[in-house]
A and B are shown apart, each in its own frame.
Chain A
Amino acid sequence: MNKLTTAEEAVKKVRDGDVLLVGGFLKGGSPETIIKALLETSSAKNLTVVSNDTGTTETNMIKVMQQGRVVKVLATYIGGNPVTGQMLIDDPESVILYPQGTLAEKIRCGGAGIAGFYTPVGVGTVVEKGKEKRVFEGREYLLETGLRGNVAFIKATIADKAGNCYMRGTSKNFNAIMARAADYVIAEARKIVEVGELDPELVTLPGIFVDALVQSEDVL
Chain B
Amino acid sequence: MDVKSLIAKRVAMELKDGDVVNLGIGLPTLVSNFLPEGVNITLQGENGMLGLGPVKAPGDEDYEVTNAGGFPIESLPGSCYFDSATSFAIIRGGHVDVTVLGALQVDAKGNIASWMVPGKKVPGMGGAMDLVVGAKKVIVAMEHTVKGEPKILEECTYPLTAVGVVKQIITEMGVMDITGEGIVLREIAAGCTVESVQSATGAKLIIPKNLKVMQVD
Contacts and interface: CB of A to CB of B under 8 A. Distances in A.
Interface in B37-70: 45-49, 62-66, 68-70
Q: Which 8 A-B pairs have the closest CB atoms?
A: A101-B88, A79-B123, A26-B70, A124-B163, A101-B130, A77-B126, A169-B65, A99-B129
Interface string A97-112: 1011110110110000
Interface string B160-180: 111110000000000000000
Nearest to B130: A101
A3 to B, nearest CB: 21
Nearest to B122: A88
Interface in A43-99: 52-53, 56, 75-80, 85, 88-89, 97, 99
Given A169-B64, A171-B64, A119 B48 contact: no
A29 B69 CA distance: 14
Given A25-B66, A101-B87, 20 more contacts: A28-B66, A56-B70, A78-B124, A79-B124, A97-B122, A97-B125, A100-B130, A104-B84, A104-B87, A121-B129, A121-B134, A122-B129, A124-B164, A125-B163, A168-B81, A169-B64, A170-B45, A170-B64, A172-B48, A175-B83
Interface of A: 25-29, 52-53, 56, 75-80, 85, 88-89, 97, 99-102, 104-105, 107-108, 119-127, 157, 168-177, 204
A153 to B, nearest CB: 15
Tell me the dominant secondary structure on chain B's binding face. Answer: loop
B75 to A, nearest CB: 7
Contacts, number: 145
Contacts of A79: 123-124
Contacts of A124: 111, 160, 162-164
A173 B47 contact: yes
Residue among A80, A85, A97, A157 with most chain B CB within 10 A: A97
Interface of B: 45-49, 62-66, 68-70, 75, 81-85, 87-88, 91-92, 111, 121-130, 133-134, 159-164
Contact of B70 (A25, A85, A107): A25
A134 to B, nearest CB: 16
Interface centre among A29, A108, A126, A172 (most CB of B within 10 A): A172
Contacts of B161: 125
B122 to A, nearest CB: 6
28 contacts: A25-B84, A26-B66, A27-B63, A27-B66, A27-B70, A28-B63, A28-B70, A76-B124, A77-B126, A85-B122, A97-B122, A99-B127, A100-B126, A100-B130, A101-B46, A101-B91, A101-B127, A101-B130, A104-B83, A119-B92, A124-B162, A124-B164, A125-B160, A169-B49, A169-B75, A170-B45, A170-B64, A172-B83
B65 to A, nearest CB: 4
A88 B119 CA distance: 12
A173 B84 contact: yes
